Structure 1
Protein backbone atom coordinates (compact mmCIF):
# COMPACT_ATOMS: atom_id res chain seq x y z
CA UNK A 1 0.00 0.00 0.00
CA UNK A 2 1.16 3.56 -0.42
CA UNK A 3 0.46 7.02 -1.66
CA UNK A 4 0.88 8.49 -5.12
CA UNK A 5 2.61 11.54 -3.63
CA UNK A 6 5.08 9.59 -1.49
CA UNK A 7 8.74 10.01 -2.47
CA UNK A 8 11.15 7.35 -1.19
CA UNK A 9 14.22 9.34 -2.09
CA UNK A 10 16.31 10.10 0.98
CA UNK A 11 20.03 9.31 0.58
CA UNK A 12 21.52 6.28 2.38
CA UNK A 13 22.15 6.72 6.10
CA UNK A 14 24.20 4.49 8.38
CA UNK A 15 22.99 3.98 11.97
CA UNK A 16 24.30 1.70 14.71
CA UNK A 17 22.02 -0.16 17.12
CA UNK A 18 22.59 -2.35 20.17
CA UNK A 19 19.91 -4.79 19.02
CA UNK A 20 17.04 -5.32 16.60
CA UNK A 21 13.43 -6.24 17.40
CA UNK A 22 11.33 -7.48 14.48
CA UNK A 23 7.59 -7.71 14.20
CA UNK A 24 6.57 -10.82 12.24
CA UNK A 25 3.54 -10.53 9.96
CA UNK A 26 3.78 -7.61 7.57
CA UNK A 27 7.43 -7.06 8.46
CA UNK A 28 9.16 -10.42 7.84
CA UNK A 29 6.35 -12.25 6.03
CA UNK A 30 3.10 -11.39 4.31
CA UNK A 31 0.45 -13.92 5.26
CA UNK A 32 -2.51 -11.68 4.43
CA UNK A 33 -4.13 -14.16 2.03
CA UNK A 34 -3.69 -17.03 4.48
CA UNK A 35 -5.05 -15.01 7.40
CA UNK A 36 -8.08 -13.88 5.42
CA UNK A 37 -8.91 -17.48 4.48
CA UNK A 38 -8.39 -18.64 8.06
CA UNK A 39 -10.51 -15.90 9.65
CA UNK A 40 -13.29 -16.64 7.20
CA UNK A 41 -13.28 -20.26 8.38
CA UNK A 42 -13.08 -19.28 12.07
CA UNK A 43 -15.66 -16.52 11.71
CA UNK A 44 -18.14 -18.90 10.11
CA UNK A 45 -17.53 -21.45 12.88
CA UNK A 46 -18.15 -18.80 15.55
CA UNK A 47 -21.07 -17.15 13.82
CA UNK A 48 -19.15 -13.87 13.48
CA UNK A 49 -18.90 -11.98 10.21
CA UNK A 50 -15.33 -12.63 8.99
CA UNK A 51 -15.20 -9.20 7.39
CA UNK A 52 -15.81 -7.59 10.78
CA UNK A 53 -12.88 -9.59 12.19
CA UNK A 54 -10.58 -8.64 9.33
CA UNK A 55 -11.32 -4.93 9.74
CA UNK A 56 -9.67 -4.93 13.16
CA UNK A 57 -7.39 -7.96 13.35
CA UNK A 58 -4.14 -6.92 11.63
CA UNK A 59 -1.35 -6.26 14.10
CA UNK A 60 -3.53 -7.32 17.03
CA UNK A 61 -3.55 -10.51 19.04
CA UNK A 62 -6.32 -13.01 18.36
CA UNK A 63 -6.97 -12.89 22.10
CA UNK A 64 -7.81 -9.18 21.93
CA UNK A 65 -10.02 -9.68 18.86
CA UNK A 66 -11.93 -12.60 20.35
CA UNK A 67 -12.43 -10.89 23.72
CA UNK A 68 -14.65 -8.45 21.85
CA UNK A 69 -16.27 -10.62 19.19
CA UNK A 70 -16.46 -14.07 20.79
CA UNK A 71 -15.49 -13.96 24.49
CA UNK A 72 -16.20 -17.65 25.08
CA UNK A 73 -13.32 -18.51 22.71
CA UNK A 74 -10.89 -16.00 24.21
CA UNK A 75 -8.57 -18.53 25.84
CA UNK A 76 -5.02 -19.49 24.96
CA UNK A 77 -5.74 -23.20 24.46
CA UNK A 78 -8.21 -22.45 21.67
CA UNK A 79 -6.18 -19.62 20.14
CA UNK A 80 -2.88 -21.54 20.02
CA UNK A 81 -4.65 -24.50 18.42
CA UNK A 82 -6.40 -22.23 15.92
CA UNK A 83 -3.24 -20.31 14.98
CA UNK A 84 -1.13 -23.46 14.86
CA UNK A 85 -3.33 -24.72 12.02
CA UNK A 86 -2.82 -21.64 9.90
CA UNK A 87 0.68 -22.39 8.48
CA UNK A 88 -0.26 -26.05 8.02
CA UNK A 89 -3.40 -25.30 6.03
CA UNK A 90 -2.33 -22.18 4.16
CA UNK A 91 1.46 -22.31 4.06
CA UNK A 92 1.53 -21.85 0.30
CA UNK A 93 -0.25 -18.51 0.65
CA UNK A 94 2.49 -16.79 2.66
CA UNK A 95 5.43 -14.96 1.10
CA UNK A 96 8.49 -13.16 2.40
CA UNK A 97 8.55 -9.40 2.65
CA UNK A 98 11.16 -8.28 0.08
CA UNK A 99 14.57 -7.98 1.71
CA UNK A 100 13.61 -9.82 4.89
CA UNK A 101 15.55 -13.03 4.28
CA UNK A 102 18.75 -11.24 3.27
CA UNK A 103 18.64 -9.02 6.36
CA UNK A 104 17.87 -11.89 8.74
CA UNK A 105 20.57 -14.08 7.17
CA UNK A 106 23.19 -11.35 7.58
CA UNK A 107 22.42 -10.57 11.22
CA UNK A 108 22.14 -14.26 12.09
CA UNK A 109 25.48 -15.07 10.46
CA UNK A 110 27.08 -12.18 12.34
CA UNK A 111 25.50 -13.39 15.61
CA UNK A 112 24.05 -9.93 16.13
CA UNK A 113 21.39 -9.58 18.85
CA UNK A 114 17.87 -9.79 17.47
CA UNK A 115 14.45 -11.09 18.42
CA UNK A 116 10.96 -11.45 17.00
CA UNK A 117 8.23 -9.60 18.91
CA UNK A 118 4.85 -10.54 17.54
CA UNK A 119 1.11 -10.53 18.18
CA UNK A 120 1.01 -14.15 17.04
CA UNK A 121 1.23 -17.18 19.32
CA UNK A 122 4.24 -19.50 19.52
CA UNK A 123 2.68 -22.21 17.27
CA UNK A 124 1.93 -19.59 14.61
CA UNK A 125 5.44 -18.10 14.65
CA UNK A 126 7.27 -21.42 14.68
CA UNK A 127 4.94 -22.71 11.96
CA UNK A 128 5.65 -19.83 9.60
CA UNK A 129 9.40 -19.87 10.20
CA UNK A 130 9.43 -23.59 9.47
CA UNK A 131 7.26 -23.37 6.33
CA UNK A 132 9.30 -20.53 4.85
CA UNK A 133 12.65 -21.84 6.14
CA UNK A 134 13.57 -18.48 7.66
CA UNK A 135 16.22 -17.93 10.36
CA UNK A 136 14.97 -18.69 13.87
CA UNK A 137 15.98 -16.17 16.54
CA UNK A 138 17.28 -17.20 19.92
CA UNK A 139 14.64 -15.00 21.53
CA UNK A 140 10.92 -14.68 20.86
CA UNK A 141 8.18 -12.61 22.45
CA UNK A 142 4.77 -13.98 21.48
CA UNK A 143 1.15 -13.12 22.17
CA UNK A 144 0.78 -15.30 25.25
CA UNK A 145 3.86 -13.77 26.92
CA UNK A 146 2.25 -10.42 27.70
CA UNK A 147 -0.92 -9.31 29.43
CA UNK A 148 -1.69 -6.57 26.92
CA UNK A 149 -1.00 -6.56 23.18
CA UNK A 150 0.27 -3.75 20.96
CA UNK A 151 0.09 -0.73 21.14
CA UNK A 152 0.99 -1.52 24.75
CA UNK A 153 4.82 -1.32 24.88
CA UNK A 154 5.33 -4.27 27.25
CA UNK A 155 6.12 -6.70 24.42
CA UNK A 156 9.01 -4.57 23.18
CA UNK A 157 10.23 -3.95 26.70
CA UNK A 158 10.29 -7.73 27.16
CA UNK A 159 12.14 -8.12 23.86
CA UNK A 160 14.76 -5.61 24.96
CA UNK A 161 15.16 -7.41 28.28
CA UNK A 162 15.56 -10.79 26.57
CA UNK A 163 18.45 -9.36 24.56
CA UNK A 164 20.06 -8.22 27.81
CA UNK A 165 19.80 -4.57 26.81
CA UNK A 166 18.84 -1.47 28.76
CA UNK A 167 16.32 1.30 28.18
CA UNK A 168 19.21 3.67 27.45
CA UNK A 169 20.53 1.47 24.61
CA UNK A 170 19.83 2.40 21.00
CA UNK A 171 17.41 -0.33 19.86
CA UNK A 172 15.60 -0.56 16.53
CA UNK A 173 12.08 -1.89 16.16
CA UNK A 174 11.00 -2.91 12.65
CA UNK A 175 7.21 -2.74 12.23
CA UNK A 176 4.41 -2.43 9.70
CA UNK A 177 1.31 -1.66 11.76
CA UNK A 178 0.50 1.65 13.43
CA UNK A 179 -0.22 -0.19 16.70
CA UNK A 180 3.19 -1.86 16.59
CA UNK A 181 4.98 1.36 15.68
CA UNK A 182 3.38 3.11 18.64
CA UNK A 183 4.33 0.20 20.91
CA UNK A 184 7.97 0.46 19.83
CA UNK A 185 8.08 4.21 20.35
CA UNK A 186 6.41 3.90 23.76
CA UNK A 187 9.09 1.35 24.72
CA UNK A 188 11.74 3.98 24.04
CA UNK A 189 13.05 2.42 20.81
CA UNK A 190 13.80 3.85 17.42
CA UNK A 191 11.27 2.52 14.91
CA UNK A 192 11.49 1.78 11.20
CA UNK A 193 8.08 1.51 9.59
CA UNK A 194 7.54 -0.55 6.44
CA UNK A 195 4.64 0.31 4.14
CA UNK A 196 3.42 -3.21 3.44
CA UNK A 197 0.03 -3.56 5.11
CA UNK A 198 -1.17 0.00 5.72
CA UNK A 199 -1.16 3.22 3.74
CA UNK A 200 1.86 5.44 3.96
CA UNK A 201 -0.30 8.07 5.67
CA UNK A 202 -1.31 5.59 8.40
CA UNK A 203 2.30 4.55 8.95
CA UNK A 204 3.54 8.15 9.08
CA UNK A 205 0.77 9.12 11.51
CA UNK A 206 2.18 6.59 14.02
CA UNK A 207 5.43 8.61 13.97
CA UNK A 208 8.20 6.11 13.22
CA UNK A 209 11.75 7.42 12.82
CA UNK A 210 12.10 6.09 9.27
CA UNK A 211 9.59 4.90 6.67
CA UNK A 212 10.56 2.56 3.83
CA UNK A 213 8.65 0.45 1.32
CA UNK A 214 10.10 -2.85 2.55
CA UNK A 215 13.27 -4.41 3.95
CA UNK A 216 15.17 -4.14 0.68
CA UNK A 217 15.95 -0.66 2.00
CA UNK A 218 17.75 -2.04 5.08
CA UNK A 219 21.21 -3.65 4.86
CA UNK A 220 23.59 -4.73 7.60
CA UNK A 221 26.96 -3.08 7.08
CA UNK A 222 28.75 -4.65 10.02
CA UNK A 223 28.66 -5.87 13.61
CA UNK A 224 31.52 -4.38 15.61
CA UNK A 225 31.99 -3.97 19.37
CA UNK A 226 28.41 -5.04 20.09
CA UNK A 227 26.88 -2.61 17.61
CA UNK A 228 24.80 -3.56 14.58
CA UNK A 229 25.50 -1.04 11.83
CA UNK A 230 22.68 -0.75 9.31
CA UNK A 231 22.38 1.25 6.14
CA UNK A 232 18.89 2.62 5.51
CA UNK A 233 18.32 3.78 1.95
CA UNK A 234 15.38 5.04 -0.10
CA UNK A 235 13.53 6.16 3.01
CA UNK A 236 10.47 8.33 2.69
CA UNK A 237 11.01 12.05 2.32
CA UNK A 238 8.33 13.30 4.68
CA UNK A 239 8.26 16.62 2.83
CA UNK A 240 6.80 14.73 -0.12
CA UNK A 241 3.59 14.20 1.84
CA UNK A 242 3.08 17.90 2.45
Structure 2
Protein backbone atom coordinates (compact mmCIF):
# COMPACT_ATOMS: atom_id res chain seq x y z
CA UNK A 1 0.00 0.00 0.00
CA UNK A 2 1.32 3.48 -0.80
CA UNK A 3 2.68 5.35 2.18
CA UNK A 4 3.29 2.48 4.59
CA UNK A 5 7.04 2.82 5.12
CA UNK A 6 8.22 3.47 8.69
CA UNK A 7 8.42 7.12 9.62
CA UNK A 8 6.40 8.26 6.61
CA UNK A 9 6.45 12.04 6.20
CA UNK A 10 3.70 14.03 4.52
CA UNK A 11 3.38 17.77 4.06
CA UNK A 12 0.27 19.92 3.62
CA UNK A 13 -1.02 23.46 3.94
CA UNK A 14 -4.38 22.48 5.48
CA UNK A 15 -5.79 19.54 7.42
CA UNK A 16 -9.40 18.40 7.00
CA UNK A 17 -10.63 16.24 9.86
CA UNK A 18 -13.52 13.84 10.02
CA UNK A 19 -15.07 13.44 13.48
CA UNK A 20 -16.61 10.02 14.22
CA UNK A 21 -13.96 7.32 14.16
CA UNK A 22 -11.21 9.87 13.52
CA UNK A 23 -11.31 12.28 16.48
CA UNK A 24 -14.13 10.71 18.50
CA UNK A 25 -14.90 7.06 19.19
CA UNK A 26 -18.70 7.02 19.03
CA UNK A 27 -19.10 3.43 17.85
CA UNK A 28 -21.01 2.41 20.99
CA UNK A 29 -23.72 5.02 20.39
CA UNK A 30 -23.85 4.47 16.64
CA UNK A 31 -24.29 0.74 17.05
CA UNK A 32 -26.89 1.19 19.79
CA UNK A 33 -29.03 3.73 17.93
CA UNK A 34 -28.77 2.16 14.49
CA UNK A 35 -29.44 -1.35 15.82
CA UNK A 36 -32.69 -0.08 17.33
CA UNK A 37 -33.51 1.70 14.06
CA UNK A 38 -32.89 -1.52 12.11
CA UNK A 39 -35.22 -3.54 14.32
CA UNK A 40 -37.95 -0.88 14.01
CA UNK A 41 -37.76 -1.26 10.24
CA UNK A 42 -37.59 -5.03 10.11
CA UNK A 43 -33.90 -5.14 9.20
CA UNK A 44 -31.10 -7.23 10.66
CA UNK A 45 -28.65 -4.97 12.54
CA UNK A 46 -25.82 -7.17 11.26
CA UNK A 47 -26.67 -6.00 7.74
CA UNK A 48 -27.11 -2.36 8.75
CA UNK A 49 -24.09 -1.60 10.92
CA UNK A 50 -21.40 -2.21 8.26
CA UNK A 51 -22.87 0.53 6.01
CA UNK A 52 -23.70 3.34 8.47
CA UNK A 53 -20.22 4.77 9.03
CA UNK A 54 -19.12 7.97 7.34
CA UNK A 55 -22.29 8.98 5.52
CA UNK A 56 -25.25 11.09 6.48
CA UNK A 57 -28.05 8.97 7.90
CA UNK A 58 -30.53 9.73 5.12
CA UNK A 59 -28.05 8.39 2.54
CA UNK A 60 -27.68 5.16 4.51
CA UNK A 61 -31.45 4.88 4.81
CA UNK A 62 -31.87 5.40 1.07
CA UNK A 63 -29.55 2.47 0.41
CA UNK A 64 -31.25 0.20 2.94
CA UNK A 65 -34.83 1.22 2.15
CA UNK A 66 -34.65 2.15 -1.56
CA UNK A 67 -38.42 2.15 -2.10
CA UNK A 68 -39.13 4.73 0.60
CA UNK A 69 -39.55 8.39 -0.49
CA UNK A 70 -36.51 10.61 0.08
CA UNK A 71 -38.56 13.01 2.20
CA UNK A 72 -39.23 10.17 4.65
CA UNK A 73 -35.51 9.39 4.85
CA UNK A 74 -34.75 13.01 5.69
CA UNK A 75 -37.50 13.20 8.33
CA UNK A 76 -36.40 9.90 9.87
CA UNK A 77 -32.79 11.07 9.85
CA UNK A 78 -33.64 14.30 11.71
CA UNK A 79 -35.22 12.24 14.46
CA UNK A 80 -32.25 9.88 14.55
CA UNK A 81 -29.76 12.76 14.76
CA UNK A 82 -31.61 14.15 17.79
CA UNK A 83 -31.59 10.69 19.37
CA UNK A 84 -27.85 10.34 18.80
CA UNK A 85 -27.10 13.82 20.16
CA UNK A 86 -28.94 12.95 23.37
CA UNK A 87 -26.98 9.72 23.85
CA UNK A 88 -23.31 10.29 24.64
CA UNK A 89 -22.76 7.24 26.85
CA UNK A 90 -19.53 5.62 25.74
CA UNK A 91 -18.35 8.55 23.61
CA UNK A 92 -14.60 8.97 24.15
CA UNK A 93 -11.73 10.63 22.28
CA UNK A 94 -9.64 8.63 19.85
CA UNK A 95 -6.23 8.18 21.53
CA UNK A 96 -4.03 11.15 20.74
CA UNK A 97 -6.90 13.35 19.50
CA UNK A 98 -6.55 16.08 22.13
CA UNK A 99 -2.80 16.38 21.62
CA UNK A 100 -3.23 16.38 17.85
CA UNK A 101 -5.88 19.14 17.94
CA UNK A 102 -3.62 21.19 20.17
CA UNK A 103 -0.70 20.73 17.76
CA UNK A 104 -2.73 21.98 14.77
CA UNK A 105 -4.40 24.89 16.60
CA UNK A 106 -2.52 27.48 14.50
CA UNK A 107 -2.60 25.47 11.28
CA UNK A 108 -5.41 25.94 8.71
CA UNK A 109 -7.79 23.10 9.54
CA UNK A 110 -11.47 22.22 9.54
CA UNK A 111 -13.89 19.67 10.88
CA UNK A 112 -15.69 17.95 7.97
CA UNK A 113 -18.37 15.65 9.35
CA UNK A 114 -21.59 13.97 8.30
CA UNK A 115 -23.06 14.89 11.69
CA UNK A 116 -25.18 18.00 12.04
CA UNK A 117 -24.07 20.91 14.21
CA UNK A 118 -25.90 19.73 17.32
CA UNK A 119 -24.55 16.19 17.13
CA UNK A 120 -21.01 17.34 16.36
CA UNK A 121 -21.08 19.69 19.34
CA UNK A 122 -22.48 17.03 21.66
CA UNK A 123 -19.90 14.42 20.71
CA UNK A 124 -16.88 16.72 20.74
CA UNK A 125 -17.95 18.02 24.17
CA UNK A 126 -18.52 14.50 25.50
CA UNK A 127 -15.03 13.56 24.31
CA UNK A 128 -13.56 16.73 25.84
CA UNK A 129 -12.14 17.93 22.53
CA UNK A 130 -11.69 21.41 21.08
CA UNK A 131 -14.01 22.10 18.16
CA UNK A 132 -12.21 23.63 15.14
CA UNK A 133 -13.32 27.12 14.21
CA UNK A 134 -14.27 26.03 10.68
CA UNK A 135 -16.91 23.31 10.68
CA UNK A 136 -18.48 21.75 7.60
CA UNK A 137 -21.45 19.80 8.96
CA UNK A 138 -24.51 18.14 7.44
CA UNK A 139 -26.24 21.51 7.14
CA UNK A 140 -23.35 22.87 5.05
CA UNK A 141 -23.73 20.49 2.12
CA UNK A 142 -26.36 19.14 -0.21
CA UNK A 143 -24.70 15.79 -0.74
CA UNK A 144 -23.30 13.18 1.64
CA UNK A 145 -19.88 11.56 1.60
CA UNK A 146 -18.63 9.82 -0.55
CA UNK A 147 -19.39 12.97 -2.55
CA UNK A 148 -16.42 15.35 -2.15
CA UNK A 149 -18.56 18.48 -1.62
CA UNK A 150 -17.75 18.86 2.08
CA UNK A 151 -14.00 18.58 1.64
CA UNK A 152 -13.99 20.94 -1.34
CA UNK A 153 -16.03 23.51 0.61
CA UNK A 154 -13.59 23.31 3.51
CA UNK A 155 -10.58 23.77 1.21
CA UNK A 156 -12.22 26.76 -0.47
CA UNK A 157 -13.08 28.35 2.88
CA UNK A 158 -9.47 27.96 4.01
CA UNK A 159 -8.15 29.29 0.71
CA UNK A 160 -6.04 26.18 0.09
CA UNK A 161 -5.87 24.13 -3.11
CA UNK A 162 -7.25 20.58 -2.77
CA UNK A 163 -3.88 19.07 -3.64
CA UNK A 164 -2.36 20.90 -0.66
CA UNK A 165 -4.94 19.48 1.79
CA UNK A 166 -4.56 16.33 3.83
CA UNK A 167 -7.72 14.51 4.93
CA UNK A 168 -8.00 12.38 8.08
CA UNK A 169 -10.76 9.75 7.79
CA UNK A 170 -11.83 6.35 9.07
CA UNK A 171 -14.63 5.17 6.76
CA UNK A 172 -14.97 3.94 3.20
CA UNK A 173 -17.25 6.85 2.31
CA UNK A 174 -14.86 9.37 3.85
CA UNK A 175 -11.73 8.00 2.20
CA UNK A 176 -13.52 7.91 -1.16
CA UNK A 177 -14.73 11.49 -0.68
CA UNK A 178 -11.22 12.71 0.09
CA UNK A 179 -9.76 11.01 -2.97
CA UNK A 180 -12.60 12.35 -5.15
CA UNK A 181 -11.71 15.85 -3.94
CA UNK A 182 -8.16 15.37 -5.23
CA UNK A 183 -6.69 15.15 -1.75
CA UNK A 184 -4.40 12.72 0.03
CA UNK A 185 -6.01 10.75 2.85
CA UNK A 186 -4.64 9.47 6.15
CA UNK A 187 -6.79 6.57 7.30
CA UNK A 188 -7.28 6.39 11.07
CA UNK A 189 -8.29 3.28 13.00
CA UNK A 190 -9.03 -0.36 12.24
CA UNK A 191 -11.63 0.22 9.51
CA UNK A 192 -9.56 2.58 7.40
CA UNK A 193 -6.81 0.24 6.27
CA UNK A 194 -9.17 -1.69 4.00
CA UNK A 195 -9.95 1.39 1.88
CA UNK A 196 -6.47 2.11 0.44
CA UNK A 197 -5.80 5.52 1.98
CA UNK A 198 -2.50 7.27 1.22
CA UNK A 199 -1.31 6.23 4.68
CA UNK A 200 -2.86 4.36 7.59
CA UNK A 201 -2.34 4.87 11.33
CA UNK A 202 -3.85 3.00 14.24
CA UNK A 203 -4.71 6.18 16.19
CA UNK A 204 -3.72 9.83 16.24
CA UNK A 205 -1.02 8.90 18.76
CA UNK A 206 0.94 7.79 15.69
CA UNK A 207 0.97 11.31 14.18
CA UNK A 208 3.54 13.97 15.00
CA UNK A 209 3.02 17.52 13.74
CA UNK A 210 5.62 20.17 12.95
CA UNK A 211 4.81 23.57 11.46
CA UNK A 212 7.59 24.89 9.24
CA UNK A 213 8.60 28.54 8.87
CA UNK A 214 6.68 28.95 5.58
CA UNK A 215 3.46 27.64 7.13
CA UNK A 216 3.73 24.18 5.63
CA UNK A 217 2.70 21.39 8.00
CA UNK A 218 4.99 18.39 8.17
CA UNK A 219 3.52 15.23 9.64
CA UNK A 220 5.52 12.19 10.68
CA UNK A 221 3.38 9.04 10.75
CA UNK A 222 4.03 5.66 12.28
CA UNK A 223 1.99 3.31 10.07
CA UNK A 224 -0.49 0.91 11.65
CA UNK A 225 1.02 -2.43 12.56
CA UNK A 226 4.53 -1.06 13.11
Could you tell me which of 73, 95, 98 is aligned with 1:98?
A: 95
Equivalent residue number for residue 180 of structure 2: 186
1:224 partner SS: coil
The CA RMSD over aligned residues, in Å, is 2.5
Displacement of 1:152 in angstroms is 1.5
Structure 2 counterpart of 1:31 = 26
| Alignment match of 1:212 (pick from 183, 201, 206) | 201
CA distance in 1: counterparts of 2:180 and 2:35, whole angstroms: 33
Counting matched residue pairs gives 221
- Structure 2 counterpart of 1:74: 73
**CA deviation after TM superposition for structure 1 residue 221, in Å:** 1.7
1:122 pairs, out of 114, 117, 123, with: 117
Shift of 1:60: 1.8
State whether structure 2 residue 2 is matched by structure 1 residue 10. Answer: no
Task: Output aligned runs, 1:1-242, within 5 Å.
Answer: 10-70=5-65, 71=68, 73-75=72-74, 78-89=76-87, 91-108=88-105, 111-167=106-162, 169-197=163-191, 200=193, 202-204=194-196, 208-234=197-223
The more displaced of 182-191 and 41-50 is: 41-50
The alpha carbon displacement at 1:156 in A equals 1.1
Structure 2: gaps of 5 or more residues: none
Gaps of 5+ in 1: 1-5, 238-242
Query: Which moved further from structure 2: 46-55 or 26-35?
Result: 46-55
Give 1:20 deviation, angstroms.
0.1
Work out the CA distance in 2 between the residues paired with 1:195 and 1:129: 18
Cα shift at 1:129: 1.0
